[in-house]
Every structure is written in C-alpha cells, then in structure tokens.
Amino acid sequence: MKQTNQILNIIFYSSFVLLFGCSAQNAVESSLESYINDLNRSVWVDIRIKEPSLDLLPIPSVRDRRFELAQFDIGILDFLSLQQCDVGAVVGHKNSILGKVMPDSQRLLYELNLIRAIDSCHIESDSLRSELFAARNVKKSELIKAFSNSLWAGRESSAFFSLSNGLISMSPDRSSFTLLQNSLNYLAGLMSNLHHVPKVSSNSLEGHFQNIYESEYAGKLLLTLLMLTKKLNDVSEGLESIHVSGEFCDKPIQFLKQQFKAHYLNKIQPYMARVNSVAFRVLPVINQFKAQTQPLTGSFNDFLAQWSMTSSSSKWKAYQEASKRHALSWNGLFQKCSVTLNQVINKAEE
C-alpha cells in the first residue's frame, strides 16, 4: 500500500511541476521532494502528498487598475503665447505622436513637469494665468493617481505579479532581489514626496521600473509560499501520525534526525530564511503602496490582499503557520524520545 501511495505521489508531483513550469524552481521542488521521499523510506512514516489548493486570483484587467486623469486642453493662441516658457514644450511633447501613446510612467513625469512648468512661467494675461493655475491645482491633486497608474497599470506590474514565472530560485544570488528592494524604496520615497512636485530623471525612473519588471518577484513569491506551505503541512501531518513506542526511539528516530538535518536544516531552512528576509522588506512596501493609492477597485484590492502580511486569510499567514507547525511537529516527535529540537540543531551546527 505504501509503495502504491509513493507511486501516486510521484505521478501527482510530476503534474505539479508541469503546472508551475520547469525552470529555475526545479532545485526547490527537488529539495522538497527528496526531503519527503527520504522521510518516507522509514516504515514509521507515511507522508501523503495532497492536491494543492490553487485558489489564486489573477491580476485584474488594466481597466480595473488605472485611474482616469483630467485632460489639459489649451487653445492654439494661448499655446503660442506660452512658447516663451517650458509649458509650451511640455504640452507640445504631450500632443506629439509619441506623447499620445506614452506609458504610464512617462505620464507621471508629464504631470510633474507640467506643474513645475506652470509654476515657473511668467504669464502676463490674467485670464490665461487663472486658467493655467486652475489646471495646475487639479493636476497636483491627481499626482497620487498618476503615480498609482505608473505603479499598478503598466507592463511592469503585469510581469511583477505574473503567476507564470515559477518559484523563487534556491540560489542565494538570484533570490536576494537587491535591485528590486532599492527600486521599491526609491518609488516609496517618490510617492511620499509628490506634494513637493519633485524633478525626476526619466532614465532613473524607467530604470527602477525595469528592475520591478525583471524581478517578477510578487508572483514568484506567491507560488513559493503556496509550495512551501503545502509541503511543510504534508510533512507535519505525516510526523503527527506517528505512534511512538520504545522501539521507535532507537534507530528509527536516529534515521529521521539524519533526514531532518540533511534536508531541512542544511537546505530547506536556509532557503526559507532567504525568502523570509526579502519578503519582510518587500511586502511592507507593497502594502504601503496599496494603502496610499486608494481608492482602488474592489477586484484589485482583493488581488493585492494576497500579499498581505496581516490578513488571517493571506498566503503569507498560511505559510507562517505551516512553518511553525512543521517545527512543532518535529519538536514534539523528538521530545517523545527525550531529544529536544535545540539539541538536534546545535549538533548539526558543530
């Protein structure tokens, strides 16, 4: 019966691999599979791999992620009279062929540049000055919307949240996401400083959005949390079903200690520590963006809630609970044989 279950587990695991792709995440999946398979070599252990719950929300359409911004319309005579200052150049670029199809990040720059141009332009006509400053005040009030569009509605967001790019790599270098962290912090600083209408370098801004695009982090994190949660819970359930006897506390527990150290302490736990370290830096920033770009649509709020660190129903919360359960399951098993988890860990570090 146990051999049959292992065969079924292998078949299901193969389907799971195909579902999530077959690239850099293979090392993660292989480590988790080896961990479970080697534990199952003990006649005392029967870890059964269950079907994963893939109740993940896809990213809403761009229409549900973008705010409409007020248009800035100016007559031809007024436009010509503004050629002496930067307003004419800024508006002229916006009305050009390229300007009409500018990405959301460039639209944010346009809004900032237009406000700054109006502020610095000497306007003799009272009516034109009044018209421009009325538009300027509307534009300034909408800066957070323009920022929100640049962050949530661009191609960068689609790649960042994509669920088709596999898991976070097991490589320390490829799982550090240093550039992403720097870029998110830069954007958080920009968002907090919008009321000062800062001058922003186009190359710098686009470089930070490119880092977000290339990281594909948020989607990878969600799938990684899902995978780890499922596998850790599978192991915990198998350990919790062991009926300890005197015989078990001899060679069987020694064998399981070896597998715990070789697989979990030496490979999986360090990987989880790297996942946690980055998540504790990135997720608060994502949730800060979410809080300060409201009101977002209900569908997009629900989507972003999947990365919440506080919601009781989030994937992060489920992962934290699975990690704690896994540690408690091993600790409970060791204690039944008068061995503490700390003793096992300390011996592994010697």
Q: What is the pLDDT of residues 174-188, one digit of tens each?
A: 899 999 999 999 999
The answer to whether the peptide bond before residue 295 is cis (omega within 30 degrees of 0) is: yes
Q: What is the pLDDT of residues 87-121, one digit of tens each?
A: 767 776 666 545 566 899 999 999 999 899 888 88
What pLDDT does residue 98 have?
54
Nearest to 177 by CA among 99, 264, 83, 285: 285
Mean pLDDT score, 318-343: 90
Give the residue extent of every domain in the chain.
2-59+217-349, 68-215
Tally the C-alpha atoms within 13 A of residue 173's C-alpha that lie toward its C-beta.
0
Dig out the tokens for 190 from the structure.
Answer: 């920009």
Residue 289 has pLDDT above 90, yes or no: yes
Provide DSSP, 79-107.
HHHTTTSHHHHHHHHHTSTTGGG--HHHH
Q: What is the pLDDT of residues 186-233, one digit of tens each?
A: 999 999 999 999 999 999 999 999 999 999 999 999 999 999 999 999
Residue 84 has pLDDT above 70, yes or no: no
Residue 21 has pLDDT above 50, yes or no: no
Average pLDDT over all residues of the chain: 86
Mean pLDDT score, 239-262: 92
Tally the C-alpha atoms within 13 A of residue 275's C-alpha that lie toward its C-beta.
26
Q: What is the pTM of this model?
A: 0.85
Mean pLDDT score, 293-298: 96
Residue 298 has pLDDT above 60, yes or no: yes
Mean pLDDT score, 331-350: 75
What pLDDT does residue 78 have?
55
What pLDDT does residue 83 have?
62
Provide DSSP, 295-341.
PPPHHHHHHHGGG-SS-TTSHHHHHHHHHHHHHHHHHHHHHTTT--H
Mean pLDDT score, 50-72: 86
